[in-house]
Structure 1
Amino acid sequence: MIDGLDPEYLATCPAPNLQRFASDGFHVSGGGMMPSVTNVNNTTMVTGHYPAQHGIVSNYWLDRQAGIEEYVESGEFICSETIFAQCRRQGGRSLLAASKDKLRRLLGDDTDLAFSSESPTTQAVAAAGNPPDVYSLEVNAWTINAARSALNAQHYDLAFIASTDYAMHTYGPDHPESRRHITILDEALGQLVADIPDIQLLITADHGMSDKRRMLHLPAVLAKRGIKARAIPIIKDHYVVHHSNLGGCIYLHLEDPTALSDALGLLRETDGIEEALPRTEAAERFSLMEERIGDIVVTGSADVVFGDPSEVALPPGLRSHGSSHERQVPIIGYGGDFGGFEFRENRDLGRYVSERVLG
């Protein structure tokens, strides 16, 4: 999982190994889940299910029953079986290597080995060196190389390697640093394939990336009509250097549920808002678990993020995700028998593993 790998990066940056994998295997353009954020899509990949089944609908949420906001970074929130649990149930061994430690904490249950660049094992450090800073271009290669060393040291039937999108948040596809980052990634992937005999490799992204130039504070918009609302930033996590907790989709919880119709009308008239959907309609449209989302789900135009100016200023040159404009992702398969299986979404990678490899 190459975090934030918008298709534009592959179209712009040289990546000879990825091009070879695509040429010798397959390469299609697929869709990601909504909201187009990390936790939602990675959980989809490792379960093969939509968020309506696995229950991860954001990076950060409001627990309605407890009345508290919290980060969604624990496997206890996942409601369906992962491919790691399926692998273990069938007597296999699995590995998870992540650049971001939040993915180790969220997805690492039922693996035989799970580590991150922020929480490395002594074996990973011995094999790949001290991890680079998580806000660096080199950290993703470290994660891939550490996973490669682990796969060479012991037998694993299944491995999930997850990068971080710091580089994509920071640099557009035509920036020289993007070319350098993709080159580093591509070389690490090439070495992975060279070192692991009979590898079956599937590559995709959790979401794309867009330039953002406008910020909307929706509680203030609604307050003009006397409607009180609580906004929950779906993209929010501990990696604020990436995106300043500003994303293109947000959940709104209304203080007065009877104000729903008026709130929807006002939001739909607001420039920069693409869609404002009531909970049930949003859950059906995006295959989300209804009880875990807001009263209203709002998505923004391609250049819009949602946030509170009293908490954060819109950073110059911000690149972020969360909206429907960051749903398109590449899907590449190499070394396996993928015939007769249709890959349309990043979800299908987990579905392929569950049904064709482990099933």
Structure 2
Amino acid sequence: MTAPSNDAAGKTSGSDTYSFDERTLVEHPTSDDENHEDGRPSAEISERDHDLLESEDERERLLTQKDGISRLFKQAAMFGKGGHKQASPKAKPAKTKNQHGESSSLMYEMEERVGLSSSSASRDSSESDERRMLATTIRRKARRAHIWRRFVIHIAVLVLFLVLLFAAYRLSSHPKPAQTVTMMSNGTSLFAPTTILISLDGFRADFLYRGLTPTLNKFIENGISPKYMLPSFPSVTFPNHYTMATGLYPEAHGVVGNSFWDPALQREFYYTDPNRSLQPFWWGGEPLWVTAERQNVRAAVHMWPGSEAHIGHVEPAYVDKYNGSEILPLKVNRILELLDLPGPLDPSARVDRPRPQLIAAYVPNVDGDGHKYGPNSTEIRQTTSNADTMLKSILAGLQERNLTEIINVVVVSDHGMATTDIKRMIQLEDLIDPSKIEHIDGWPLYGLRPRNPDELKDLYRQLAEKAKSNSNIEVYLRDENMPERYHFSKNPRIAPLWIVPKTGWAIVAKDEFDIKEAEKNGDVYHPRGLHGYDHEHPLMRAIFVARGPAFPHKPNSRVEPFQNIELYNIICDSIGIEPVPNNGTLRLPLKPVGLHTDPETPPNETPADPVESSSFLAMSTMASFSSLVSSASGLEDALSSSHLDIPTNTPTSNTPPAASTTSESWWEWLSHKADEMEEWVDDFLHKHLPENSDSTPSA
């Protein structure tokens, strides 16, 4: 049987077999380039382009979604290498079952593989580029996001750092009170422990018993105080104010007098000359305002001696320069103004205007008038009363601000005052040859520095011999027999040789005051009052009175007398700061020994001022004048024209003057009238007393 031809076979109806050439023509017809791409039919190309477009749209959607990248790679598994969907296995051509079937199928697969390999290379290249571009885009966007995140983090860190820096600045420059400090409210503001320290320079302890200080006496009744406070030796202003501020003896802090010579510096300290007193190297130790500021407690110092010296290179928040002519009401306004400043917890608080917790104010008026007129003069009575009125205004201001039970108030003085008299004076030239002395320190004490140090012992022996015949002076060598209780030997600024006059006595050089000439002329010696003597003498006694939350004692409590080295610790404790080492030992709370009203309390002591011994004869003489008044009309007219109010009852003893107005008027009239009154008395005595009378008016 003859086999059918290839044509016939290929055209047999229903037959699925073709020759190799025919199959090539059928499966791969020739067409124009516009209908083919990479050897694939146009329909397939269109489908691929459509798929590519869809894939690009899908990528864009994925990049704008949170999980775009993950979805992109999930979708990638559903597409072919070229980006179009992979064909189903059914799309593969079936294997022919004719005699050429096996080879034809193999040929088809080989041709298809060849065609796919060429097109795959192109598609792989395009796909690789697309993936690189996509990866680059993703990396860029991720990098931008990372940069923005880092930028935001850095900005946040910078802002936080600035906030912390500002907070640290506020804490360092205007610290808030420690959490352990109890804050007290007056209804409008919170107050940390606050103390007002007021020093009444020259306010003698017995001034409280003259009936001139009702506010201070009431203050004592409501607070705690000793009968008196002892100053330190020498009992003069600058050493004692700095002792109160540091808790150190003068020999320890270095301000050993109102004036002195420093052999190491070869310079002189003189208290009234700022160029010679306000350098920090003079001032040793650490004063209250420095201790407070070092512990972030703000301090205000009003004219306190030494406060302008930049001690320790630490400045208090407020320093008011000395102004001796400032009236007392301005001091009151200044203190209350400082208390009215916003506290650190107030919304209106200002770093440059903090409210101080320590206010130390110096009041020189009593001392000034005590020197000028004497401690028993009419003028000092008025000055003492004015100081009491000042305190009354301060306490009233605290009451108005509801601060009476919140603010501590401490009133002190630095020393007392003794009356001078021309009859209690010693000429320096009668004791020693001034030409042998190079420097004289202090006053009314005399600290001597010989020109020739080898003559020190000889000069001492000479002075000691003079002291045997004059009991009104004492002579000491700094390094040998200076009394231990003075605490006045352990500093080279202390002169090696000292003449210490008795209280109320003064030593003067002839070029300053010639005693014999002054006696002939009836001159009055000035100053009329002096201090600086033995710090334990009753006329040198000072005061201490305290009231406030740091002193939770029964009203009118009494403590034993103490020395002013204790004040530093007391004030530090009252405002919650730790004192540096010092010579004091007292700490708060104070330990009362009873009340001032207890029966066993010592009575108020008014020490005898030395003026009485020299004025008593004059007072007795003036007592005889009253008997002449009734018979001598001329004298009566003279007394009347001088506006003198002479009482008819005259004291007849040396006892201290009573608090009555009559005895005080006699005391004042006889001892310390105004200058024109003194001249009148002097003239009157010269005209009317018998020539053989040894009575002289008091100076």
Query: What is the TM-score with the length of structure 2 in the denominator?
Result: 0.43
Provide Cα deviations, 1:262-304, integer angstroms capped at 9, x if missing partner. 3223323332643211112438442234211101122111222
Letter of the 1:330 counterpart: I
**What is the SS of the residue equivalent to 1:222?**
coil
2:284 to 50, 73, 79: 79
**RMSD of aligned residue pairs (Cα, Å):** 2.8
Alpha-carbon distance in 2 for matches of 1:336, 1:169 = 36
1:319 aligns with 2:523: no
The one-letter amino acid of 1:353's match is I
CA distances 1:98-157 after superposition (whole Å, capped 9, x unpaired):
2x8x65434876321111452xxxxxxxxxxxxxxx36xx73443343233233235111
Match for residue 143 of structure 1? 331
C-alpha displacement at 1:338, in angstroms? 3.6
Correspondence for 1:167 among 354, 369, 372: 369
Q: Comparing 72-81 with 256-265, which one deviates more in the overlay? A: 256-265
After TM superposition, give the deviation of residue 39 of structure 1 in Å: 0.6
1:208 and 2:416 are equivalent in the alignment? yes
Greater strand share, 1 or 2? 1
Q: How does 1:1-359 map to 2 (within 5 A)?
A: 1-28=199-226, 29-72=228-271, 73-74=277-278, 75-98=280-303, 103-106=306-309, 110-116=315-321, 118=323, 134=324, 139-153=327-341, 155-164=355-364, 165-196=367-398, 197=403, 198-213=406-421, 214-218=424-428, 221-223=431-433, 228-234=436-442, 247-268=443-464, 269-270=466-467, 271=470, 273-280=472-479, 281-282=481-482, 284-288=484-488, 289-312=490-513, 315-316=524-525, 318-324=528-534, 325=537, 326-338=539-551, 344-355=562-573, 357=575, 358-359=577-578
Q: 1:174 to 1:283 in 2, by over 3 A?
A: closer
Structure 1 stretch displaced more, 326-335 or 170-179:
170-179
Conserved? CA contact 1:231–1:250, under 8 Å:
no
Structure of higher RCO (CA pairs closer than 8 Å, 6+ residues apart) = 1
Encode CA deviations 1:2-24: one digit per residue, 9 max, x unaligned.
10001232222411111111111
Q: Give unpaired runs (5+ residues) of structure 2.
A: 1-198, 272-276, 342-353, 516-523, 554-558, 579-699
Distance 1:352 1:308 in 2: 42
Identity %: 22
Question: Counterparts of 1:18 and 1:79 in 2: how far apart (Å)?
Answer: 33
Q: Which one has a bigger Cα radius of gyration?
A: 2
1:131 aligns with none
**Shift of the alpha carbon at 1:202?**
1.5
- Matched residue type, 2:566: D
Structure 1 residue runs of 4 or more that deviate by more than 6 Å after TM superposition:
339-342
Say if 1:45 and 1:141 are closer, same or farther in 2 by CA, change over 3 A.
farther
Size of the aligned set, in residue pairs, is: 326
Identify which range, 250-259 or 82-91, moves more after superposition.
250-259
Match of 2:50 in 1: none
Tell me, in whole angstroms, the C-alpha distance in 2 between the residues paired with 1:216 and 1:3: 27
Contact 1:141 1:184 in 2 (8 A): no
Cα pair distance change 1:266/1:212, threshold 3 Å: farther
Distance 1:141 1:283 in 2: 43
Aligned AA (2:451) = E
Give the letter for the 1:80 counterpart: G
Q: Is the 8 A contact 1:249 1:300 kept in 2?
A: yes
The aligned amino acid for 1:180 is Q
Q: Are the equivalent residues in 1 in contact too, given 2:204–2:542 (CA < 8 A)?
A: yes
Is the Cα contact below 8 Å between 2:283 and 2:306 reproduced in 1? no
